[in-house]
Amino acid sequence: VYIMGYSAGGDGVYQLAPRLADRLAAAAMMAGHPNETQPDGLRNLPFTLHMGANDGSYNRNKKAAEWKTMLAELHEKDPGGYVNFVKIHPGKGHWMNLEDRVAVPWMAKYTRISTPDLVVWKQDDVTHNRFYWLAVHDDFKQARALVRVKHDNQTFTIEHSDVAELRLRVNDDMIDFSKKVTVLHDSKVLFKGMLARQSSTLQKTFEERHDPSAVYSAEIIVSVPKE
């Protein structure tokens, strides 16, 4: 599934792509305005942005230039993520005369990443309770909260969490159920033990989205100390 939008539709892509990154293969934003949205959640979603250099209404062109810089910096710090293609089209205004059509073949190169090795979850003002293999109970949903968790074989490392409780979900594509799983935070062990596949977790995660690629068979709930 790909998402793209132009003008007000571009506003929507700015908003929706970071929130729905775990459901998409790639996203294209044309001639929109991001408002308060930040690109952190795009770590595993290829994102292309197209803007006319002369599209100055609401400072759309300036915002696009800011996002170009932010995405470049994020990718430089994390070369395994934040794949992006930003094009500011010289001499063009709000209408780019179809020069932005290059976004379509660019997006088509990518398929959805369902179980990435690093999840960066940045909540917006509209919150949700799951993102890739991370989840939170409704009681812990928090606007603007940032969570970063790395997965490496049998180990999960919580690099940052603004929420006090996290749920880490796993399936056979992610771990070996015959070995112990460890969850770390600030070099401290929050969980270490064996996991068992649970039919209730399979059913719950399937019913949440009816998406076979987003189904998990076990869940770890950890309390995260304040940083």
Cβ–Cβ < 8 Å for 174, 155: no
* Boundary residue ending a domain (108, 137, 163): 108
34 and 59, same domain (yes or no): yes
**Does residue 113 fall inside a structural domain?**
no
78 and 122, same domain (yes or no): no
* Boundary residue ending a domain (50, 73, 108): 108
36 and 68, same domain (yes or no): yes
80 and 143, same domain (yes or no): no
* Boundary residue ending a domain (77, 108, 139): 108
139 and 83, same domain (yes or no): no
Distance of alpha carbon 123 from alpha carbon 101, whole angstroms: 30
- The domain that holds 64 is classified in CATH as 3.40.50.1820
166 and 89, same domain (yes or no): no
For residue 103, what are the domain limits? 2-108
**Position 227 confidence tier, pLDDT thresholds 50, 70, 90:** confident
Read off the pLDDT of residues 156-215 as tens digits, 9 standing for 90 and up. Answer: 999 999 999 999 999 999 999 999 999 999 999 999 999 999 999 999 999 999 999 999
Please provide the average confidence, as pLDDT, over all residues in the chain.
97
Give every strand in the sheet of 165-170, ordered side by side: 130-131, 134-135, 165-170, 218-223
Cβ–Cβ < 8 Å for 152, 118: no
100 and 126, same domain (yes or no): no
Rounded to two decimals, the pTM is 0.94
95 and 128, same domain (yes or no): no
Using CB atoms within 10 A of its CB, is residue 170 exposed (0-12), middle (13-18) or buried (19+)? Answer: buried
Residue 226 has what pLDDT? 83
At 143, list the tokens. 């606007």
Distance of alpha carbon 181 from alpha carbon 109, whole angstroms: 34
Asked if the model's pLDDT at residue 108 lies above 90, the reply is yes
Read off the pLDDT of residues 64-95 as tens digits, 9 standing for 90 and up. Answer: 999 999 999 999 999 999 999 999 999 999 99
